[in-house]
Structure 1
Amino acid sequence: MKGIRPADLVTFLAVARHLSFSRAATELGVSPSALSHTIRGIEGRLGVRLLNRTTRSVSLTEAGERLVSRIEPAFRDIDDALDDLNASQGRVVGKLRIGIGLVAARVALLPVVAGFLARYPEVEIEVVTDDALVDVVAEGLDLGVRFGERIAGDMIAVPLVPRMRSLVVVSPGCLARHRVPRTPHDLQGLPCIRQRFPSGAMYHWEFERGGIALETEVDGPLILRDMTLCSQAALDGLGFAFVFEKLIEDDLAAGRLVGLLEDWCPYHPGMFVYYPGRRQPPTVLKAFVDYVREHPQ
């Protein structure tokens, strides 16, 4: 193969899967410049260009697409053979890359991961936090965690946590300086801690009572991009926040935060672990999913 090693093909497949040198370099644990140099060396030894590169994008050439179509199934077969060997010995070994939002990782995933790693010490888990909706296949992830209504129909989904409620909270000191809101409309004129989505859109607080849904565009002097920071800002007395109740349940119990508008605060449909259903999952992924089923949160 003109000096081409299996490791070279693994490197090429990582770039082809991500169509991004930076993301593939992160997966492989090398620098983007070193990865680019490796790909140029592979192309030089083969005498054919596999990738089209610009300053803005990476794409496969016709030759690159043909190579991927031939070698990708072969590498899957190798992975499956090694996985079968470990399974026959009763071992759960390997790596898992899990995509999840930062807040969801804190309130839902990390307790499960801790128990799973204690049971299977030969497993390595990388938690990739991103509050944007990512494509687990395109990003080279083994599985993801999302609210149920956001999962594509071709994915296999397993419940991770039951429905969770969002709650308006405020510190006792801040509440003493302002009027108590009795309805969502009463939030107008109060210092609310707002949250901006990764897309750039501002989150409108969502309420529901008696089957009537209501979105409220609140105002306030502070805008954050992470719900964990919103809860901390509320603890610091900077205003009213709208966060997952599970995130601040200890602060509520200790009286550091006060919950408001509880009869208006809705429940979300719960979080699910999900993964592609197109092929038999490897043993390590199956073991993690089974563990999630055995240990509902």
Structure 2
Amino acid sequence: MSFPPMNELQAFQKVATTLSFKKASDELNMAPSTLSHSVRSLEERLSTSLFQRTTRSVSLTDSGQKLFVELDAIFRQLDQALTMSDRCDQPSGRVRISTNETAAPMLVNIFDSSFYAEFPGIDIEIIVDNRFTDIVADGFDAGVRLRDVIPKDMVAIPIVKDFQFITVASPGYLNQHGRPRTPSDLKKHNCIGFRFESRRLYQWEFAQKGKRVAINVAGSMTTNNPRLMVDAAKKGIGIAYVAESLVTAELASNELVRVLSRWQKPWPELHMYFPRNRHLPPALRICVDRIKQKRQK
């Protein structure tokens, strides 16, 4: 089988990305009939259907999904190669990073205005998803998660020296209900729970002088969104257990107050991770160097 023409592959990739022939034709500045012909020609060339079409929707077949994943990697490598060959003194390109809500504020602090002033050709796309993401299959350049959940075949670099979860509440809540002195006191309080995608409720974990404690908390509100936990705590609904990075501003403004500060569990560091490759894309290499520089300060 001969290699399909590039225009057919580009037509397929754009429709697979947008799941809309109309949007794809608009973005490619191509007549809808020409786009449809290119996709049909590719399907005939491969002897398989790539899309399931109805009057209202377009979806990928299994064959189409496999081709889309493979082509996405090829197009990204081609784009990176062209970026490398065309660049002058300044690196350029887009870096897509998958992270959870806890780590997202840290990335904003790392890649601040000074970074973009120094590297105006680099764009960073931060996608927040609290579920663990397969960065290769989902087309990301890198991910940010706790070290203990990162696949062992990935390269991982630490982002921050100190990462911790803390227990917080509003001054109003503490004035009304009192301040917990030990983790076991939390059983007498209204605690804002966090539920994983697996439906398991998160146990709040504490440590002091080598003693570790895990508490099953209860309360009137449970969510899978850490930012919502912060907002609920600010409203005086209850006590929240969240990453310190999410409440830096609230602690500074005294909207939230830290409790149980003497009970601090060591946490595995947050890491940026990416596939093991001898030739890192220049834009990603710049991001990695930036993280290392920030961590040393």
Whether TM exceeds 0.5 here: the answer is yes
Report the CA distance shift for 1:182/1:78 in structure 2 as closer, same or farther (over 3 A): closer
Q: How does 1:93-112 map to 2 (within 5 A)?
A: 93-106=92-105, 108-112=106-110
Report the CA distance shift for 1:128/1:253 in structure 2 as closer, same or farther (over 3 A): closer
Q: Which residue of 2 aligns with 1:82?
A: 82
Report the CA distance shift for 1:214/1:145 in structure 2 as closer, same or farther (over 3 A): same
Identity %: 30
Q: Which residue of 1 aligns with 2:111?
A: 113
How far residue 287 of structure 1 moved from its aligned partner, in angstroms, is 1.4
Report the CA distance shift for 1:167/1:80 in structure 2 as closer, same or farther (over 3 A): closer
The question of whether the paired residues in 2 share the 8 Å contact of 1:168 and 1:240 is answered with yes
**Distance in 2 separating the partners of 1:260 and 1:45:** 66
Q: Tell me how large the CA RMSD over aligned residues is.
A: 3.6
CA shift digits 1:228-266 (9 cap, x unpaired):
111121111111111112322332233322211112232
Report the CA distance shift for 1:203/1:242 in structure 2 as closer, same or farther (over 3 A): same
Other structure's SS at 1:85 match: helix
Other structure's SS at 2:197 match: coil
The question of whether the paired residues in 1 share the 8 Å contact of 2:43 and 2:50 is answered with no
How far residue 182 of structure 1 moved from its aligned partner, in angstroms, is 1.8
How far residue 80 of structure 1 moved from its aligned partner, in angstroms, is 5.3
Which letter does structure 1 place at the counterpart of 2:127? V
How far residue 77 of structure 1 moved from its aligned partner, in angstroms, is 6.7
Q: Which residue of 2 aligns with 1:18?
A: none
The question of whether the paired residues in 1 share the 8 Å contact of 2:9 and 2:42 is answered with no
The question of whether the paired residues in 1 share the 8 Å contact of 2:207 and 2:264 is answered with yes
2:78 paired with 1:60: no
After TM superposition, the score normalised by the length of structure 2 is 0.80
How far residue 212 of structure 1 moved from its aligned partner, in angstroms, is 2.8
Q: Which residue of 2 aligns with 1:25?
A: 18
Q: Which residue of 2 aligns with 1:123?
A: 122
2:173 paired with 1:174: yes
After TM superposition, the score normalised by the length of structure 1 is 0.80
Report the CA distance shift for 1:189/1:163 in structure 2 as closer, same or farther (over 3 A): same
Report the CA distance shift for 1:127/1:243 in structure 2 as closer, same or farther (over 3 A): same
More displaced stretch, 138-147 vs 170-179: 170-179
How far residue 277 of structure 1 moved from its aligned partner, in angstroms, is 0.6
Report the CA distance shift for 1:164/1:72 in structure 2 as closer, same or farther (over 3 A): closer
Report the CA distance shift for 1:47/1:248 in structure 2 as closer, same or farther (over 3 A): closer
Number of corresponding residues: 281
The question of whether the paired residues in 1 share the 8 Å contact of 2:95 and 2:123 is answered with yes
How far residue 12 of structure 1 moved from its aligned partner, in angstroms, is 4.7
Gaps of 5+ in 1: 16-20
Other structure's SS at 1:251 match: helix
Q: Which residue of 2 aligns with 1:9?
A: 9
Which letter does structure 2 place at the counterpart of 1:8? E
